[in-house]
Amino acid sequence: MQQILAEVEKQIAKAGNEARRIFHGRGHCFEGLEHLVIDWFPPFAVARLYRDVEPAWLDELSDLLKTVPDIQGLVIQQRGRGKDAEQNVVWGDVPEQMEVRELGLAYHVKPQRNQNSGLFLDMREGRKWVKEQAKEKRVLNLFSYTCAFSVAAIDGGADHVVNVDMSKGSINIGRDNHRLNGIKGDRVTFLAYDLFKSWKKVRQLGPYDLVVIDPPSFQPGSFIAEKDYRKVIRRLNELTEAKSQVLACHNDPKNGTEFLKQLMLEECPDFKFVERLANPEDFPEAELEKGLKVLLYVREK
Ligand SMILES: C[S@@+](CC[C@H](N)C(=O)[O-])C[C@H]1O[C@@H](n2cnc3c(N)ncnc32)[C@H](O)[C@@H]1O
């Protein structure tokens, strides 16, 4: 328990009151705590357990987090328990929906949601990179979810961003996220479509200078990486021009960087691998290949 406390206090101190992961056991850097992660939506902590633990252990965790003055409420979710896992506010007045900040920008999150609270915290360095690169660019944000990449790109001076996600609910939150940051609608397009049924529209709005691809690993009926990632990569040839940049992301521990590199090599020979972006320091990984992979490519001709 003491190493949880030490890490939580360290990460909260670094958070600067922004959203952040404050304990990442899943990266196998804290022995015996691989089943625990804790997210920070200031001033509330959301602990997620990836296997069943003794109720006494949970009580101990709760009491421990209560000793941290910054934490004013705690949600504990036990993954794999479906709906029951929601509404597990253990103490404090944790709202259903709230605003958090990241890199100075605001986003809506739902801290009590079992999965996908609205902002994937492990992508902070990706959003920072996009924000720094986006000036005067036409950006395509594939699998946009709540459009956090788009908010970052517009803040970084992008000319236009096209967001595509099949979830209407996520796209609507994406619109709200833009409003929250005072972004006017004419620089952003929202397409609530299944990508595989809307290539024509996506192509018509291009070509793009910067393409972000951040699909799920496994969403049966919608996207299965092993089968569908290739179909997306293949389209890059018609969606981009010389000097266009592509950020290809993959978060399946089963597939290392070679998975994406091989697809790019086979389907997009005009693109050159530039670098793998570093993951945020609040997501320490014992085995880098198992963590989030964010690969940058540039089209040479
Ligand atoms: C990992 S999330 C994307 C995270 C997002 N890029 C971000 O920065 O927050 C995956 C998203 O892909 C969407 N999705 C899955 N299959 C899709 C498809 N065939 N067409 C469009 N969107 C899809 C899901 O609705 C989900 O929002």
Q: Are 97 and 49 in contact (CB under 8 A)?
A: no
Q: Is 167 in the pocket of ligand 1 (CB under 6 A)?
A: yes
Torsion over CA of 226, 20, 51 and 255, rounded to 10 degrees?
Answer: 20
Q: Is 219 in the pocket of ligand 1 (CB under 6 A)?
A: yes
Hey, which of 130, 154, 165 would you mutate to test ligand 1's pocket, going by the most ligand atoms within 8 Å of its Cβ? 165
Atom of ligand 1 nearest to the CA of 170: 27
pLDDT given at position 86: 46
Set out the domains of the chain in order of their start, with CATH numbers.
Answer: 2-109 (3.30.750.80), 121-299 (3.40.50.150)
Indicate the residue type of 222.
S
pLDDT given at position 181: 98
> What average pLDDT does the segment 251-261 reach?
94
Atom of ligand 1 nearest to the CA of 167: 25
Q: Are 245 and 211 in contact (CB under 8 A)?
A: yes
Q: Is 194 in the pocket of ligand 1 (CB under 6 A)?
A: yes
Centroid of ligand 1 to alpha carbon of 161 (angstroms): 16
Centroid of ligand 1 to alpha carbon of 142 (angstroms): 7
The percentage of residues in the chain with a pLDDT greater than 70, rounded to a whole number, is: 97
> What average pLDDT does the segment 41-50 reach?
96
> For ligand 1, atom 12, which residue shows the shortest CA distance?
143
Q: Is 165 in the pocket of ligand 1 (CB under 6 A)?
A: yes
Centroid of ligand 1 to alpha carbon of 214 (angstroms): 7
> What average pLDDT does the segment 25-46 reach?
96
pLDDT at 246 over 90: yes
In this predicted model, what pLDDT tens digit does every residue of 218-240 receive, in sequence order?
999 999 999 999 999 999 999 99
Q: How confident is the model at residue 116 (pLDDT cuts 50, 70, 90)?
A: confident
Q: What is the pTM of this model?
A: 0.95
pLDDT given at position 84: 53
pLDDT given at position 166: 97
Q: Environment class of residue 176 by beta-carbon count within 10 Å: exposed (0-12), middle (13-18) or buried (19+)?
A: middle
pLDDT given at position 80: 64
What is the residue-averaged pLDDT of the chain? 95
Q: Which of 76-90, 190-204, 211-225, 286-300 has the lowest mean pLDDT?
A: 76-90
pLDDT at 83 over 70: no
Centroid of ligand 1 to alpha carbon of 185 (angstroms): 21
Indicate the residue type of 270.
D
